[in-house]
A and B are shown apart, each in its own frame.
Chain A
């Protein structure tokens, strides 16, 4: 089973590829989300795909974590959300 991090990364890669950007793009941990090359609608698609794959949408619920600004924060945003969801089951 793939980890949350892998799922987030591959989803980002897919959406980038669908825009014609090279899939080999390196998603640096510290890259600001603003520099990844996705517009707000692309991010919306990323979030929808991740909800389908991980069963959570951390943007739709209150969270103690700040809204992410970098790739690393984005990944951990999902990791926390999945962990929370699992602990509540």
Chain B
């Protein structure tokens, strides 16, 4: 199905831009040609499952298309995994061929991706070769900030099912702020690709480099984590932000707090701002563009995408036609309901995401949600970034600890007092951070989320 989409787009226009990466421009025609050549190359390996250990690039996109064309299972391994972890996955998932752009010794399993010129000038199979009917699958690792990731099996149809198809999206230019090996990255890729839009891979990960790419490539659509958006707001000037021609801002992967939605609204008054709820297992679930924290229950009940919700002991459960087929290794019989691991509450007719059940801090039997504490601390002037988590205590189980990145030149002793003073007014005594430490940066997982662990 993925390959067929490329075929359709390149028929409509060979030259239409598909991927932009470090100044290189790949048209739908060129990506399609490379994917055809790569599918012959993969077919030649004679495997049914293949892993890709490759950074965001046109190469990786062409390989996804190629694997889909010949009905392979494609396992996506994050390029920042250390090599021994990669080998462990290859062993655990029984993968004989792993294509990589890493500069490592090729072995029986690790294989370098052939370059476009080499492959296309010397095709392995004639154009007319008949390929098996596609039964392609995508295997993604979960981005949990704790524990060992699970391997989730999806089909391209379940991944692309909820993608909005609109004629106007043909001109959309998307920033790929996520990694393509992750569910969120695949969603952004599909949103652009299905509609024939452009995918731009930023030159680097710093806010400066990302903004550079956004300005140079006239990025109109950006989907990223709240953590990313906070960084963008803190690390760029208002003037620079006003120069960004953004049409659509999307927040996903973590709960989007009201403070952030308000800040984005005032900084990007012309843009549509959407926060989404999705998970690797449950797939895309729902979105809201009204600028209010949470999701209107009324809208959820009339959900056109046929996603249903249920709350069990405070935890959100999802039933969705776009959910995974199952975990790798277990029977792929799809359960109707998936537990999300997210705790929620219903307030004023809206479903509010409180945070990961595993991130919840237990203070003497009281539940504290890090996002709530972080939200209050962020309101204090002089605070640049923050994370809250539970510090183990032999007396009360856990107490709330906050790590704060101060603005440059701020008197931290005074800031600490102000944070405490503010929190005492706004929070229950057990929610107030009892330990505040000033740090230089907050650790972020390779899925772009805050790691709320000691």
Contact = CB atoms under 8 A, between A and B. Distances in A.
28 contacts: A40-B364, A40-B395, A40-B396, A41-B363, A41-B364, A41-B396, A41-B399, A41-B429, A41-B430, A41-B434, A42-B434, A43-B395, A44-B393, A44-B395, A44-B396, A44-B399, A44-B434, A45-B399, A45-B434, A45-B435, A47-B393, A47-B394, A47-B395, A48-B391, A48-B393, A48-B435, A57-B394, A60-B394
Interface in B378-399: 391, 393-396, 399
A39 interface: yes
B119 to A, nearest CB: 58
Interface string A30-53: 000000000111111101100000
A61 B108 CA distance: 52
A43 B363 CA distance: 13
Contacts of A69: none
Interface of B: 363-364, 391, 393-396, 399, 420, 429-430, 434-435
B439 to A, nearest CB: 15
Q: Top 7 nearest A-B pairs by Cβ distance?
A: A60-B394, A59-B394, A44-B393, A44-B395, A44-B396, A45-B434, A44-B399
A18 interface: yes
**Most central of B393, B399, B435 by chain A CB within 10 Å:** B393
> Dominant SS at the A interface?
helix
A60 B434 CA distance: 19
A59 B429 contact: no
A41 B420 CA distance: 14
Interface of A: 18, 39-45, 47-48, 57, 59-60
A18 B394 contact: no
Nearest to A42: B434
Contacts of A48: 391, 393, 399, 435
Contacts of B420: 18
Given A44-B393, A44-B399, 7 more contacts: A39-B429, A41-B364, A41-B399, A41-B430, A41-B434, A44-B395, A45-B434
B421 to A, nearest CB: 9
A43 to B, nearest CB: 6
A44 to B, nearest CB: 4
From B364, B395, B429, residue with most partner A Cβ within 10 Å: B395
B248 to A, nearest CB: 44
A43 B394 CA distance: 10
A47 B364 CA distance: 15
Nearest to B400: A41
Nearest to B435: A45
A65 to B, nearest CB: 15
Contacts of B399: 41, 44-45, 48
Contacts of A18: 420
A28 B394 CA distance: 25
A57 B393 CA distance: 9
Contacts of B396: 40-41, 44
Contacts of A59: 394-395
B441 to A, nearest CB: 21
A84 B420 CA distance: 36
Contacts of A43: 395
A59 B430 CA distance: 20
A18 B419 CA distance: 12
Nearest to A40: B396
Q: Which of A42, A43, A44, A47 has the most CB of B within 10 A?
A: A44
Contacts of A41: 363-364, 396, 399, 429-430, 434
A39 B364 CA distance: 12
Contacts of B429: 39, 41
Nearest to A19: B420
Contacts of A57: 394
Nearest to A51: B394
Nearest to B363: A41
A67 B9 CA distance: 74
A72 B393 CA distance: 22
B436 to A, nearest CB: 9
A89 B27 CA distance: 67
Nearest to B436: A18
